[in-house]
Each structure stands twice: as structure tokens, then as C-alpha cells.
């Protein structure tokens, strides 16, 4: 029973951290005619052109779409533009990654 409780507590802690990250590091702006703008970040932990970094940014976008009851039949990303904010100490930049999308 202690193991099950530990697993549940760890799962809730991880989910809470990603929710906090989503609120602090991303922006979601619904627009007219079923379109939206979304900003995620890319850094040394979630690199710009890595599968893992992009998957995390898309998970956060999915959560914004769900919370705002937007795009009930799905969505399509229509543009993606990274904007350099700062060069990191290890040679990787920190980027705002802007996406535009539309509901399908």
C-alpha cells in the first residue's frame, strides 16, 4: 500500500510541476475564426529542434486547447517561428517558439 501511495504522490507532483511550467513559460491566445497563437520556450533542457522538446511544447499546447474548450475536432499548426531571446552559457540559445494554428 505504501508503494501505491508513493507512486500516486509522485504522479501528482509531476503533473503539478508541468501545470506550473505551462502557466509560467507558455502563452495561449485564441483568435477569431477558429485560429490561435501559442508561445512555448526552447532551452537547453527542451531544445529547439529535439523530438523531446517539441513533444513537451505540444503537450502544453494540447492542455491549453483542452482547458479553453477550443478546437473540439482537433487543430493544425500553420506556422512555427523560433525567436532567439538569449544565448545560453553552453552555446544553446533560449528561444520563444511561436506557433499559429487553426481548428480543423
Tell me the pLDDT tens digit for each residue of 52-85: 999 999 999 999 999 999 999 999 999 999 999 9
Domain count within the chain: 1
For residue 39, the enclosing domain spans: 26-103
Tell me the pLDDT tens digit for each residue of 19-52: 567 667 899 999 999 999 999 999 989 999 999 9
At residue 64, the pLDDT reads 96
Residue 56: inside a domain, yes or no? Answer: yes
Residue 13: inside a domain, yes or no? Answer: no
Residue 46: inside a domain, yes or no? Answer: yes
Residue 98's CB is within 10 A of a number of other CB atoms, namely 15
Residue 20: inside a domain, yes or no? Answer: no
Amino acid at each position: 500500500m505504501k508503494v501505491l501511495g508513493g507512486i500516486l504522490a509522485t504522479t501528482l507532483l509531476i503533473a503539478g510541476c508541468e501545470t506550473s511550467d505551462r502557466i509560467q513559460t507558455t502563452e495561449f491566445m485564441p483568435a477569431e475564426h477558429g485560429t490561435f497563437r501559442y508561445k512555448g520556450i526552447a532551452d537547453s533542457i527542451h531544445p529547439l529542434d529535439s523530438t523531446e522538446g517539441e513533444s513537451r511544447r505540444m503537450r502544453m499546447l494540447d492542455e491549453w486547447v483542452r482547458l479553453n474548450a477550443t478546437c473540439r475536432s482537433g487543430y493544425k499548426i500553420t506556422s512555427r517561428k523560433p525567436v532567439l531571446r538569449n544565448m545560453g552559457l553552453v552555446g544553446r540559445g533560449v528561444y520563444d517558439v511561436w506557433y499559429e494554428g487553426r481548428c480543423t
